[in-house]
Amino acid sequence: MTPRPSKLKRATGIALLCSGILLGALQPAAPWITAASASEPQSQQLKQTQNYTVTSAPIDALHLDPPQLPDLSGYTLAAVEAKIKRSPGGKVVVRRMLQQDALKDFIGGNERLREWVARQKGMPQAIFVEGGYVTTQDLANALPDSQFSEVEPGVYLARLPIVVAQGATLHIDKSTQELRLSQERGSFMVNDGQLFFTETKLTAWREADNGPATFRTPNEFRPFLVSWGGSELYIAASVFTSLGYNTSKSYGVSITQYTPGMQARLKRPEPTGWLIDSEFVDHWYGFYCYEAENVVIKGNTYRDNIVYGIDPHDRSHGLIIAENTVHGTRKKHGIIISREVDDSWIINNKSYDNKLSGIVIDRNSVNNLVAYNHVYGNYSDGITLYESSDNLLWGNRVLNNARHGIRLRNSVNIRLYENLVAANGLSGVYGHIKDLSNTDRNIQLDPFDTEVSMIVVGGTLAANGSGPLSIDSPLSVELYRVEMLAPSKSTGISFSGVLGDKQEEILDLMVRRQLAVLIDPVESQAELQD
């Protein structure tokens, strides 16, 4: 993992360290530009306007080596196959859903048991895989056609929920052309052991239509897959279609710890898994995890999912989200990590044509690397950080998004290195604060500070509709070696927010004198003198 950057000193104010800027239509003879020598003492360079002072500053502290990326070469179909323990053989039994730990979340509260009673037309039952290794053909051999059947060669229909118990392994391999989960009969899959999908298909199936259970309304039951605490889920070279609906733990494909009450009793380890080289289509959430560790999401396509494409959540960590293509998300974001999702990599993904942002870092998610992603054509921001400090964005291409290219809210020590941010509808980089106290936000669960700070080093900001930079009430900002090209305004490059107030002083030092620029709040200077 890239070492976590140290916190910026809160009293340093705003430092803009820039050189090598191409100013497009900026008039070189502008009256505010002077020919002062670069050796001029800082005391002579100092200019004071309103609450800030402008001077120069050293740049050595801004150097960072390119981040080291995790080795992805070991996440392959062959590596997944090598993890499968094919002996001893397991057994297949049918049990009532009641009194089963792995199913309690689906039969308690909100009259959820009624859902299965109505669909099964009796006391609900589930298929349990126990004791060892089981295949799809084993399920078909052990169960009547009314519960699990081979409807055509290599195509199977499950008409009950399927539970993989602790210590058991279920493997759906390439001999299974497709495993269908009946929507009408309330089928779904729960993994409490090890579950493998290799070179196969899993489809939520609407028997009435003889086709996938495509999305119709948020609260309509659709089959889903959930992998609980202590389990391992592996999906490789497979296609998953039309899973999930708007009910807890039933979102589509989920890797999640047990609910707090259950976990206090069961004490299961954090769940994990690999989802690699596969396709996920028309799910309520393309992927969701909660308190998971070291999950690998690599080389997949997430398309036309309803709420989110990829959504790791609460206190998950050590995740690798790499080389995925996420597009066509209908309601919200392509990729989002939210609520203390830390120490993870979001690298080399494509996220485009999503209803809101391409990539979001949210709710106190820290020490993450967002690098070399191509984020374009989204209907809100390209990359958004909400209340999430101490993150590094490196080498991303953020192009032609409807609103801001990169947006930071209530987040400090955000480092933006070597990014190309171009042709976005509003600002290239936008930093702001917002008081969320009077919203529906749970402040105890999701605390925040109304502070924003950033470092922008290298890269290009070009042809963004409202200008390259807009920063409101920043705690600190540093820029160095940033190209600013193709201004959308005929007057040339212009800054917004505090930077706009200081534009003449900043550009004087940056362009004419090729100096680093430091802007400090006057209050900070007074405090230092005391």
* Rg of the Cα atoms in the chain: 27
pLDDT in tens, 411-442: 999 999 999 999 999 999 999 999 888 888 88
Domain ranges for the chain, please list them: 90-306
Stretch 454-459: mean pLDDT, rounded?
90
Strands 517-521 and 14-16: antiparallel
pLDDT in tens, 223-268: 999 999 999 999 999 999 999 999 999 999 999 999 999 999 999 9
Q: Which residues are catalytically annotated?
A: 313
Stretch 338-352: mean pLDDT, rounded?
98
Amino acid in the structure at residue 345 = W
Amino acid in the structure at residue 359 = I
The dihedrals phi and psi of 356, each to the nearest 5 degrees, come to -115, -120
pLDDT in tens, 1-14: 443 333 333 333 44
Of the candidates 313, 304, 311, 255, the one whose C-alpha atom is nearest the C-alpha of residue 280 is 304
pLDDT of residue 197: 99
Over 50: is that where the pLDDT of 503 sits? yes
CA distances from 381 to 54, 394, 490 (A): 31, 17, 24
pLDDT of residue 472: 81
CA distances from 256 to 222, 250, 251, 316, 352 (A): 19, 11, 11, 9, 27
Contacts of 397 (CB under 8 A, 6+ apart): 373, 374, 375, 376, 419, 420
pLDDT in tens, 195-233: 999 999 999 999 999 999 999 999 999 999 999 999 999
Asked, as a colleague might, if the bond just before 260 is cis with ω within 30 of 0, I would say: no
- CATH class of residue range 90-306: mainly beta
Give the whole-angstrom CA distance, residue 7 versus residue 45.
Answer: 28
Q: Are 293 and 268 in contact (CB under 8 A)?
A: no
Contacts of 163 (CB under 8 A, 6+ apart): 100, 102, 103, 126, 127, 128, 129, 189, 190, 192
pTM given for the model: 0.90
CB atoms within 10 A of CB 397: 18
Percent of the chain with pLDDT over 70: 84
Confidence of residue 52 (pLDDT cuts 50, 70, 90): low
Instruction: Judge residue 262's burial from the number of C-beta atoms within 10 Å of its C-beta, 0-12 exposed, 13-18 middle, 19 or more buried.
Output: middle
Instruction: Judge residue 240's burial from the number of C-beta atoms within 10 Å of its C-beta, 0-12 exposed, 13-18 middle, 19 or more buried.
Output: buried
The DSSP string of 341-377 is: -BS-EEES-EEES-SS-SEEEESS--S-EEES-EEES
Of the candidates 307, 309, 298, 305, the one whose C-alpha atom is nearest the C-alpha of residue 281 is 305
